[in-house]
Structure 1
Amino acid sequence: MAQTTDSDEDTDLPRRKWKQDPDGVRSNILQVAREIFAQKGLSGTRIDEIASRTSTSKRMIYYYFVDKEGLYREVLADAYRQTREAEDALELTGLPPEMALRKLAEFTFENHRRSQDFIRLVMIENIHEAHHMPDSEKISGENSSAISMLDVIYANGVAQGIFRPGLTAVELHWHISALSYFNVSNRATFSHIFGGELFDEAGQATLRQHVGDMILRMVLV
């Protein structure tokens, strides 16, 4: 009977983990890949580097995602999905329309601020002209949840005579996203030119409130 050496057991550990917890392994790969892609982009990232920082092997990465571009696409889809899930977890039902809209706008600002790798991924994919974005049917559900939420809030506000008619949920989503996105995407250059005061905790709290103020002033009668 052949003996099992310590080195054999060590080599087999990633395989055991893959068999025992495939979802956990896949999630670990996506998390590590997200960090590296956000830092280095698609072309600057190597699968070897991702594998070295995960609990699995390079072979398993290819097993789950086929190639680097397939992994990158899944990272994008997962990043959008996590953002929408965080929005869906907000308790907005039953709130007055103006309060619900402010809460969603300020949440988006804060969530983007604390998910800077997501913004960097979006920045990189815009450079690529959205060439690697997942198929629309794969992410439309996650995206439409945000639009549906805004649609309900805005429709309730119009029906109650609080919000002016003539706007759409997509427009509101654009304005909220634009303000929240710029805060992260242009932080380095903006603070280099004007200083970093707006990016400390007090400055960010002020900007977050201003985002809510601006969105409300745009829709209020």
Structure 2
Amino acid sequence: MTALTILMFSLAYLLGSISSAILVSRLFNLGDPRQQGSGNPGATNIFRLGGKIPAFLVLTFDLLKGTIPVWFSYYLGLQPVHLAFVAVFACLGHMYPLFFGFNGGKAVATALGATLPLGLDLAALLIVTWFLVSYYSGYSSLASLVTFALAPLFTWIIKPDYALPVAILSTLIIVRHRKNIIRLIFNQETKIRDKN
């Protein structure tokens, strides 16, 4: 592993550590999203707290947090497995942000953004899966769980070189949803358009 690879891992984590949900919430005077609504600093909770514009800003930035470091790593010539782990580190930054007390979100948008440079076909398949499940169920968390449960399989079929790190990333995201899983089982989960 080269110094450049380690540098990109570090930069991906630092970029991931910038919590757009908290910054946008401050900009729109919404309070700390970690203490309101679902308690998750992500686009879905910001949508409930502040509406479409703040949620769109958070979603866009969170997608870019995954896309930018992976794109740069690709153009710098990192090996496929290292390229995929750049995505993992970006998501770890979102989940455990250095700048916000290591209390972050679930990294769904960041993970989806990170798949864009790995292949538009793979990214499209994941995004379509998320939208279909969320549309028919009404649950953002269920859509994320189904999408990332299937992500390693999709990746193995389309981009097998990236299957292992995507499986690691999927495991992290599913573990971060453990409370949502319990609420889904007991029919206590909040739907996307619910205002809590």
- Name the larger-Rg structure: 1
TM over 0.5: no
TM-score (norm: length of structure 1): 0.34
